[in-house]
């Protein structure tokens, strides 16, 4: 949901305070219905809440939704950190010795012939 740059920007705007749908819309170069759709997605995902004030829809960030998002981000960070650390260890082991990576064997016949080898 936050992969969309418009939605990220909406969340950034709402982090500064509540805004009506119209106040959000004037900050973008897209249609009102497009902004309404983005707000609906954010609302359905639990990142924003809406309240009605006469004819206006007022949006604010939902702290619980942000907590859930923060938890997910931390889980992803831990997941990838562990894997990247293992990859880093593997690369260090492969570079150990003369400081150069191990030479890959070429399975390409053209490359092998250019180097004076035959398949």
Which region holds residue 17: left if phi is over 0, alpha if psi is between -120 and 50, else beta? left
Domain coverage including residue 95: 65-101
For residue 98, the tally of other CB atoms under 10 A from its CB is 7
Q: Are residues 14 and 51 in the same domain?
A: yes
Q: What are residue 58's DSSP bridge partners?
A: 20, 51
- Is pTM beyond 0.75? Reply is no
CA–CA distance, 96 with 90 (Å, rounded to integer): 10
Return the pLDDT at 119. 46
Residue 113 included in any domain: no
Return the pLDDT at 36. 93
- Can you count the helices (H) and strands (E) in the chain? 5, 3
Return the pLDDT at 105. 52
Return the pLDDT at 103. 61
Q: Regarding beta strands 19-20 and 48-53, do their DSSP bridges make them parallel or antiparallel, or are they unpaired?
A: unpaired
DSSP assignment of 6-54:
HHHHHHHHHHT--EEHHHHHTTSSS-HHHHHHHHHHHHHTTSEEEEEET
CA–CA distance, 114 with 17 (Å, rounded to integer): 66
Residue 75 included in any domain: yes
Q: Are residues 80 and 47 in the same domain?
A: no
Domain at 19, CATH number: 1.10.10.10
Residues of the chain with pLDDT under 70: 1, 97-119
Return the pLDDT at 39. 95
Nearest to 38 by CA among 69, 68, 3, 10: 10
């Amino acid at each position: 949901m936050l992969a969309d740059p418009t939605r990220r920007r909406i969340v950034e705007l709402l982090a500064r305070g509540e805004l009506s749908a119209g106040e959000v819309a004037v900050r973008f170069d897209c249609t009102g219905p497009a902004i309404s759709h983005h707000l609906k997605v954010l609302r359905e995902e639990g990142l924003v809440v809406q309240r009605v004030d006469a004819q206006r829809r007022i949006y604010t960030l939902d702290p619980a939704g942000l907590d859930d998002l923060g938890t997910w981000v931390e889980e992803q960070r831990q997941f990838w950190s562990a894997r990247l650390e293992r990859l880093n260890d593997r690369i260090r082991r492969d570079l150990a010795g003369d400081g150069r990576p191990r030479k890959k064997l070429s399975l390409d016949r053209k490359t092998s012939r250019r180097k004076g080898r035959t398949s």
